[in-house]
Amino acid sequence: MRLKFELKYKDTNTMGRLGEIYYNGKIYETPMFMPVGTNATVKTLSPEELKSIGSGIVLANTYHLWLRPGEDVVCAAGGLHKFTNYDGPILTDSGGFQVFSLAKPKDITEEGVKFKNHLNGDALFLTPEKSIEIQQKLGSDIMMSFDECVKWPSTHEYMALSVERTLRWAKRGKVAKKDNDQLLFGIVQGGEYADLRKHCALELVKMDFDGYSVGGTSVGEDKETMYKMVEYSTPYLPEDKLRYLMGVGDPIDLIENVMRGIDIFDCVSPTRLARHGHAYTKYGKVNIKNSKYKRDFTPLDDCDCYACKNYTKAYIRHLIVANETFGARLLSIHNIYFLHELMRQIRENIKNGTIKEFRDEFVKNYYNGMNYLEKKTMNKEE
């Protein structure tokens, strides 16, 4: 098996964990943020830049690569690692999230999902078996089970039926997986319902997957609901296997969900925000297009990333306003570096037993001086 996870330490005050991923002679520490390379590339950045920023696992999207260039092309190239020239670990999602954003409820059957190709309108049909087949040809290190991703909110009645379908699909995908060194993760669904989350997690654990993901978050719910979804899932997952929260990348959410037992995260937000001129800083997100930065000749933030060490807000603003790609590249470098550095600080504070204090101080700075409890109260009032 080319990728192995080992749990190293558990926080005594939270569910926070420290672990190590062993891959091709290298060690990658968890908790970890994974940049998203939807079309087998993290937008505007090279693999060499990703590694220099500190990236470990990178995610690629099964649905988009199925459509173009096609899984057979990637397979003929030697798999995603050779195709993309990335020698670190690669995770592929199942395509389920994209499918369910394109399909109508009536298109979901026990066999699979019918939907239209978003590029040309052709009819497509994706099943648990087909998803695994595509991912195996892509040659990722971690594959995801095909599940039903349900929009929030949903009734308990529908979610209960959906969970059973997800469990049946997970079993079918596991049967379809060839005996190779790719890992396969099960996905815990169940919406905001504690009983369904517990049931789904326990049933998936019985199937003995290589790791587990908490799915069905970042689909329109508020932060407190998301945190409950995670709290309802992680206590029932094995301690010795990776836990993955899908589609979450907001800095506050990373801290909060590490404290709830999550090891790895992914999200398109750092590069998507960059393309729209937004940058993470320890004092919150900034919109670099704001006119107040036109003559601001200071760095984006007090950090050691390439963008902050070499360029000013005024220059990056000029690039973004002029629609120059280099601006998006610099902001992408900064945003991904920011999240990697945040994860490093999270690991350090778990090790020191100070993750709650770190969370409170980070939130106070990020939300302009409000402490954690004040921000939570404001969120509820909103």
Active site residues: 93, 266
Rounded distance between C-alpha atoms, residue 325 and residue 194, angstroms: 45
Q: Which residues of 160-173 are buried (b: 16+ CB within 10 A; e: fewer)?
A: bebbbebbebbbbb
User: For residue 53, which of 234, 270, 327 has the smallest C-alpha distance?
Assistant: 270
Round to whole Å and give the CA distance between 39 and 121: 19
Nearest to 186 by CA among 267, 132, 138: 132
Burial class (CB in 10 A: 0-12, 13-18, 19+), 8: exposed
Distances, alpha carbon 317 to alpha carbons 6, 38, 323, in Å: 43, 26, 10
Best CA proximity match to 209, nearest among 249, 237, 231: 237
Residue 260 and residue 16: Cα distance in Å, rounded? 6
C-alpha 99/C-alpha 14 separation (Å) is 35
CB 215 within 8 A of CB 178: no
* 30 phi, psi to nearest 5 deg: -120, 150
